[in-house]
Structure 1
Amino acid sequence: MSDVRSLGGLEVEVVAGRTEPVLAIHGVSSNRRLWNWLRAEAPELSLIAPDLRGRGGSVGVGGPSSVARHAEDMVAVLDALDLESVSVCGMSMGGFVAVALATAHPDRVRDLVLVDGGFPMSVHEGVTEDGVRAAFTAQASRVGRTFTDVDEYADFVLPGMPLLDRDDPLLRDYLVHDLADGRVRLDPGILVADATDTILGPSSWRQLDRPTRLVYAEWSTGEGSAPAYPPDRVAQLAAELPALQATELVEGVDHAASIMTRRGAAVVAEHLRTL
């Protein structure tokens, strides 16, 4: 059972389950249906899954936007639900938002599961602001197009996610949620601002004191690509940050597939069950 509500100014899907609620925060160019695979693997989980400002059902919620602003939006969602403290699961930029939330408002976060995000990424070392803006401006070009159907949209976006199964009905549902009348529900200015802040902005991860788990992918984009988090970097993070209590490498997946496949979602589900 789930229902969609307007909470804290955002469109939020609240999924009823048998557990204490988990706030699930999606990535920079994603939407709340990112959690389809987690729901399939762990139907017992109670989830609070917002569309972040500028995406999906929250596309009309404008900027300015940043990781810190998203964290404050999450506080507003929790306030609207009368929840004092929750477990938080964040993927990619959602992991950075989760860390910002846990460090700015530690009383609102019990613990965290971060999925290929939340800490500075090796693949971003040496990237300039111009480079980030160029890359994500190109990614935002889909906003200016009209797609005849979800299959045409899949043709456009899936080459950048090569390990996903085009025939997966969970993926189709995710892509459908991006669209309204053939247009992508994404604010390009917010996308670029958020990407720039995530990659180049300040991070409070060293202040993190909530129990934290990191699930990370073997590759970044496709088989053999350099990972966001090489194992030696993860070991260094664990040595420097006592709050990072568990880490797990998911072999055979890349960044997107770390949550958008049953294989990746199963690992994430097991870490959420241990909280």
Structure 2
Amino acid sequence: MTPYEEIRVPVAGGELAALRWPAGEPGAPVVVALHGITANALSWGTVAGMLAGRVTLIAPDLRGRGASAGLPGPYGIAAHTDDVAALTEALGLDRVVLAGHSMGAFVAALAAVRHPDRFGPLLLVDGGVGFPAPTHLSPDELMTAVIGPAMDRLSMTFADRAAYRAFWQAHPAFAGDGWSPEVDAYIQRDLTGEEPAMHSTCRIEAVRTDGVGLFDDEVLSAVRKLPVPATLLWAARGLMDEEQGLYDEKRLAVARLGDTRVEPVAVPDVNHYTVLTGGAGAREIAKRLVAVANTPVPGNA
């Protein structure tokens, strides 16, 4: 595991927890990285290892998850953008590269639109771009259809940490070489409570509010209003390692990204999780983060 430090910064209602993997050299660029809807900051642990100190990586536990689970509402994508802006302000950061995975990518896109002076280029990882959804489903039904298994986990209890590990190791997305010490640390950060009734740190009301918010017009339109360039790294396979991923060529064509500042790039042989937590996906993310973080941002001194 790549060493990191735990930090806290003031936000509305309390303090936001974050992890910081320092760069090997002073003055190195900074990347702020945002996790998915039922994840936590350590989902970026594999990427941190691949970065090998070439940039400083800061990943918050978003409001209602991990060590930020105690933060009160209101929740929602807009609330996360304000928290991320407050994080960069508290740390004295300006025009940092912003990365996001899954829901975190939607937060990143909206943050760039709402706070254009705080963020530079974006890296969106299997998220951030909406596509037409069935009109006969309500937002709550749509969310259940997409992340139903993840939501189910939030109501479950586990006898101990070994039981939680076994639960995740049985997940199709982490089969074979999808498991690693970094993945284990990431899922264990999500577990809290006392044996024999341990449970996820994720607050169900936060996840539900955020999930419904992903279908809000302001959130969906953010990628069409970006003041900075962005790259979308999309996984070939889905949340349960199924052949249909969240994105494919057809869905991206419908999204008309040619009218935006987003460049889509396929990442083969990964699923929605391993595009971030697996070796091949994390290596691709790290390569692109180093490149964009070292590219001068117009407007910086």
The TM-score, its normalising length taken from structure 2, stands at: 0.83
Matched, 1:171 2:165: no
CA, structure 1 residues 60+130, in 2 after alignment: closer, same or farther (shift >3 Å)? same
Matched, 1:13 2:32: no
* Residues 54-112 of structure 1: CA deviation (Å, up to 9, x unaligned): 00000001212111110000011011101122000100000000001100111111111
Q: What is the CA distance between 1:223 and its match in structure 2?
A: 4.4
Matched, 1:255 2:272: yes
Match of 1:162 among 169, 173, 182: 173
- Report the counterpart of residue 95 of structure 1 in structure 2: 105
CA, structure 1 residues 29+223, in 2 after alignment: closer, same or farther (shift >3 Å)? closer
- Report the counterpart of residue 191 of structure 1 in structure 2: 207
Q: Which amino acid aligns with 2:243?
A: S
Q: Structure 2: how far apart are the matches of 1:138 and 1:218?
A: 20
- Out of 198-207 and 250-259, give the one that drifted further: 198-207
Q: Which amino acid aligns with 1:229?
A: Y
CA, structure 1 residues 240+214, in 2 after alignment: closer, same or farther (shift >3 Å)? same
Matched, 1:270 2:282: no
CA RMSD of aligned residues (A): 2.2
- Alignment check: 8 A CA contact 1:150 1:175 kept: no
- Out of 215-224 and 140-149, give the one that drifted further: 140-149
Q: Structure 1: how far apart are the matches of 2:288 and 2:144?
A: 36
Q: Which amino acid aligns with 1:15?
A: W
Q: What is the CA distance between 1:132 and its match in structure 2?
A: 3.6
- Alignment check: 8 A CA contact 2:35 2:43 kept: yes
Q: Report SS of the residue matched to 1:259.
A: helix
Q: Structure 1: how far apart are the matches of 2:211 and 2:96?
A: 26
CA, structure 1 residues 224+50, in 2 after alignment: closer, same or farther (shift >3 Å)? closer
Q: Which amino acid aligns with 2:238?
A: S
Q: Which amino acid aligns with 2:34?
A: I
CA, structure 1 residues 125+255, in 2 after alignment: closer, same or farther (shift >3 Å)? farther
Q: Report SS of the residue matched to 1:274.
A: helix
After TM superposition, the structure 1 = structure 2 runs for residues 216-231 of structure 1, keeping only pairs within 5 Å, are: 216-231=234-249
Q: What is the CA distance between 1:43 and its match in structure 2?
A: 1.6
- Out of 146-155 and 231-240, give the one that drifted further: 231-240
- Report the counterpart of residue 239 of structure 1 in structure 2: 258
Q: What is the CA distance between 1:185 and its match in structure 2?
A: 0.8
Q: Which amino acid aligns with 1:107?
A: D
- Out of 108-117 and 247-256, give the one that drifted further: 247-256
Q: Which amino acid aligns with 1:104?
A: R
Q: Which runs of 5+ in 1 are unaligned?
A: none
The TM-score, its normalising length taken from structure 1, stands at: 0.90
Q: Structure 2: how far apart are the matches of 1:112 and 1:69?
A: 19
Q: Structure 2: how far apart are the matches of 1:206 and 1:167?
A: 36
CA, structure 1 residues 87+145, in 2 after alignment: closer, same or farther (shift >3 Å)? same
Q: Report SS of the residue matched to 2:48.
A: helix
State the identity %: 28
CA, structure 1 residues 218+100, in 2 after alignment: closer, same or farther (shift >3 Å)? same
- Alignment check: 8 A CA contact 1:27 1:92 kept: yes
Matched, 1:128 2:144: no
After TM superposition, the structure 1 = structure 2 runs for residues 138-149 of structure 1, keeping only pairs within 5 Å, are: 139-149=150-160
After TM superposition, the structure 1 = structure 2 runs for residues 51-62 of structure 1, keeping only pairs within 5 Å, are: 51-62=61-72
Q: What is the CA distance between 1:128 and its match in structure 2?
A: 2.5
- Alignment check: 8 A CA contact 1:62 1:190 kept: no
Q: Structure 1: how far apart are the matches of 2:251 and 2:187?
A: 33
Match of 2:164 among 147, 153, 165: 153
